[in-house]
Amino acid sequence: MAFYLYAIAPAGTKPGRLRGISAEPLKALAVDGLVAIAGEVEALPAATVDALQAQDLLIRALAARMDALLPARFGTQERSAAALVARLEPHVEAFTRALVEVQGCEQMNLRLFVDAPARPKPLRRRSPRDGAGTRYLLRAQERLSPSLPELDPLRAALGDLLHAERVKGSNQPPLRASVSHLIPRGSAVRYQALLAGLDRPEGTRWLATGPFPPYAFAPEALS
Amino acid sequence: MSPPKSRLPHPKRPALPRAAPRSTVVTRAPKPRKRPAPPPLSQRLVGMKPVEPEPLPREQSLLDVVDNLLNKGVVISGDAVLGVADVDLVYLKLSALLCAADKLSR
Amino acid sequence: MTPRKKSTARAPRTKPKPAVQRVQVIEPADLTALRTEISSWAEQGQSAPRWNADPDDVQRSVLRLVLALVEFIRRLLERQAIRRMEEGSLSAEETERVGLALMRLEETVHGLAVRFGINPEELNLDLGPLGRLM
C-alpha cells in the first residue's frame, strides 16, 4: 500500500472524477494551506512507457483545470497519507513561491547542441584575488547550472514572454544543455516563431518542444 | 475554445497577497501591458511568418515525457537498497534526513 | 526533418519569395545524445541502486558503500555551498575555505576509489570539466 503523489496545488483544489495511473480515485490531501493530489495504490507503479504517458496525460488534465500546479516526479510516494503530508509540510513555503511563479504559465523544453567541445569558460570571478577554493566552487556552479551566454539573444528576443528559466548541463556531446523556459499559457507558437527568427551561432543547433505543464519549476522536494 | 466547466467553490489560485487584482473570468487573459506598434504588413508577411509547431516525431515526444517525469536533477536521491549475500535487507533513504543547516534555527 | 506545413494565407504571385525559413534541424548525433542522456535518467529513476556485501570481497564492497555515501554527502555539501555563495550568505574567506575543503574531499574520494580498483562510475561520480577518469 502506498500513497502516490501526482501534484501540489492551491488550497481548495478538487481533482473531481479524474483517476490516477493505477485507475485509483484521486484524493486532495491538505498540506498546511496547500493541497497534495494523490492516490492510494496497492503496489508502486512500474516505470513503463505506458505508466509514464498515463501520468503525463493526468498531469495535463489537472493543469487544464487550474491556473497553478506543481507536478511531482514519477514514483513520488510514501507509505501513508500522514507520511506524505509530513514529508511535504516543511516545504510549503517553497511550494507556495513556486505556485505563484508557475501561475498561468507552461513550459517549453529547449535543447542546445554544440559541435565544438566546450571550451573552458571564463569564470564568473568575483575578484582577481579568488583562490583555488573559490574557483573550484565557481567551476562547480557553472557545471551544475551553466549560464549559457549563447542563449542571450533568445532571452532578449523573448523579453516579457520569459518568466523563468532552468538549465541542466549535459555530459553527452553534442548535447550541451537542456533548458526549460516558463512562458504564459498559449504562447508556445510565438515562442517557436521567435526562436525560428533568430540567427544561431555557428556550429550550434537548438530544438524546442512543448508546451508542457511546469515540471521543471516544481521544487526539488517533489522529486 | 470553451472555458472548462467551473464548479463553485472552485478557487484556482493560491490565497496569497497579490500586487494587481485579477479578473475571475476563466479564460486566460494576457497581462495588460503596453505593446509596441505591430510591424508593417510587408514585414509581417515576409519576415515574421506565423510558425506552426512541427508535429513531433513519436520518439521525440516520448523523450520529453521521460525527461519531464523522471529527471530528478542533480543529486537529489540518496536512496539505496542494502543487502548481504544477494538478499536485499534495508532500504536507505538519505533524502529524508537532510535539510539546509542555516534554516534549522527558524 | 520534414518541411513545415505551408501557411494558408494567399500571397499575390508578384510578391518576392519570402526569406528562407529557418527550420529546426538537428543532426542524428544530437538525437542519439539526447536519447542517451534521458535514458540514463530513466535508469536512475527506475530503482534505487543496490549495494550488496560480497562475502568474497568484503573489503571492496564496504569501501564502495562508504565512498558512495561520502560522495553523496559531498555533493550535497557542494550544492548547498554554491547556493549560499549565490545568496551572499558566505563570506569570501568562508567561500575559499569551503571550496578548498570540498576540492580536497573530492580528490580523496577519487584517490581511494582508484587505489582500490573501484570504477568511479560505480560511485556515480562525475568529474565534471575533468571528464571521466576511465
Boundaries of every domain in chain A: 2-103, 105-217
| Range C66-82 average pLDDT | 85
The least confident of A34-48, A80-94, B12-26, C26-40 is: B12-26
| Range C50-69 average pLDDT | 81
CA distance B77 to chain A (A): 8
CB contact under 8 Å between B72 and A223, yes or no, is yes
In chain C, the largest separation of any two C-alpha atoms, in whole Å, equals 83
Give the confidence band of A108 by pLDDT, cuts at 50, 70, 90.
very high
At A90 the pLDDT is 87
| Range B75-90 average pLDDT | 69
Q: What is the pTM of this model?
A: 0.71
Q: Is the pLDDT of residue B38 over 60?
A: no
What would be the CATH architecture of the domain defined by A105-217? Answer: 2-Layer Sandwich (3.30)
The whole-angstrom separation of Cα A192 and Cα A194 is: 5
At A4 the pLDDT is 94
Supply the mean pLDDT for chain C: 73
| Range A97-111 average pLDDT | 96
- Rounded to whole angstroms, what are the CA distances from B82 to B88, B90, C53, C123? 6, 5, 8, 14
Residues B73, A33, B101, A141: is their CA dihedral positive or negative?
positive
The whole-angstrom separation of Cα B28 and Cα B95 is: 38
CB A161 within 8 A of CB A190: yes
Give the confidence band of B90 by pLDDT, cuts at 50, 70, 90.
confident
Residues constituting chain B: 106
CB contact under 8 Å between B14 and A96, yes or no, is yes
Show the beta-strand stretches assigned E in chain A.
Answer: 2-10, 26-31, 34-41, 70-71, 77-78, 105-114, 164-169, 175-184, 204-212
Residues C77, C33, A154, B65: is their CA dihedral positive or negative?
negative
**Of residues A52, A59, A25, A61, the one with CA closest to residue A41:** A25
Residues constituting chain A: 223
Terminal C-alpha separation, chain B: 47
At B20 the pLDDT is 43
Across chain B, how many H-helices and E-strands are there? 2, 2
CB A60 within 8 A of CB B68: no
The DSSP annotation for A65-76 comes to H-S--EEPPTT-
At C58 the pLDDT is 82
Q: Is the pLDDT of residue A100 over 90?
A: yes
Q: Is the pLDDT of residue C3 over 60?
A: no
Q: Is the pLDDT of residue A193 over 50?
A: yes
CB contact under 8 Å between A75 and C45, yes or no, is yes
Q: Which amino acid is at B59?
A: E
At C134 the pLDDT is 22
Q: Please tell me which residue, B66 or B16, carries the higher pLDDT value.
A: B66
Q: Which residues of C touch B (CB under 8 A)?
A: 1-2, 4-5, 7, 9, 11, 15-16, 18-19, 21, 24, 31, 34-35, 38-39, 41-42, 44-45, 47-53, 55, 65, 68-69, 72, 75-76, 79-80, 83-84, 89
Give the confidence band of A125 by pLDDT, cuts at 50, 70, 90.
low
The DSSP annotation for A90-136 comes to GGHHHHHHHHHHHTTEEEEEEEEEESSPPPPPPP--S-TT--HHHHH
Q: Is the pLDDT of residue C12 over 70?
A: no
Contacts of B91 in chain C (CB under 8 A): 48
Best residue of C20, C21, C23, C30 to probe chain A, by most A CBs closer than 10 Å: C30
At A203 the pLDDT is 83
Count Cα neighbours of C4 within 13 Å in the Cβ-side half-sphere: 18
Best residue of A175, A200, A207 to probe chain C, by most C CBs closer than 10 Å: A175
Q: Is the pLDDT of residue A34 over 70?
A: yes
At B99 the pLDDT is 61
Query: CA geometry: angle at B65 spanning B63 and B66, to 5°?
Result: 65
C45 → closest Cβ in B59, B70, B91:
B70
Q: Is the pLDDT of residue B54 over 50?
A: no
| Range C49-67 average pLDDT | 80
Q: Is the pLDDT of residue C131 over 70?
A: no
CB B100 within 8 A of CB C80: yes
Residues constituting chain C: 134
CA distance C100 to chain A (A): 4
CB neighbourhood size of A79 (10 A)? 10
Residue with cell 582577481: A128
- Provide ipTM, 2 decimals: 0.86
CB neighbourhood size of C84 (10 A)? 18
The whole-angstrom separation of Cα A21 and Cα A9 is: 18
CB B54 within 8 A of CB C26: no
For a pLDDT cut of 70, what percent of chain A falls above it?
95
Backbone angles phi, psi at A149, to 5 degrees: -60, -20
Q: Please tell me which residue, B99 or A128, carries the higher pLDDT value.
A: A128
At B51 the pLDDT is 43
The whole-angstrom separation of Cα C109 and Cα B41 is: 64
**Of residues A72, A99, A56, the one with CA closest to residue A211:** A56
Q: Is the pLDDT of residue A149 over 80?
A: yes
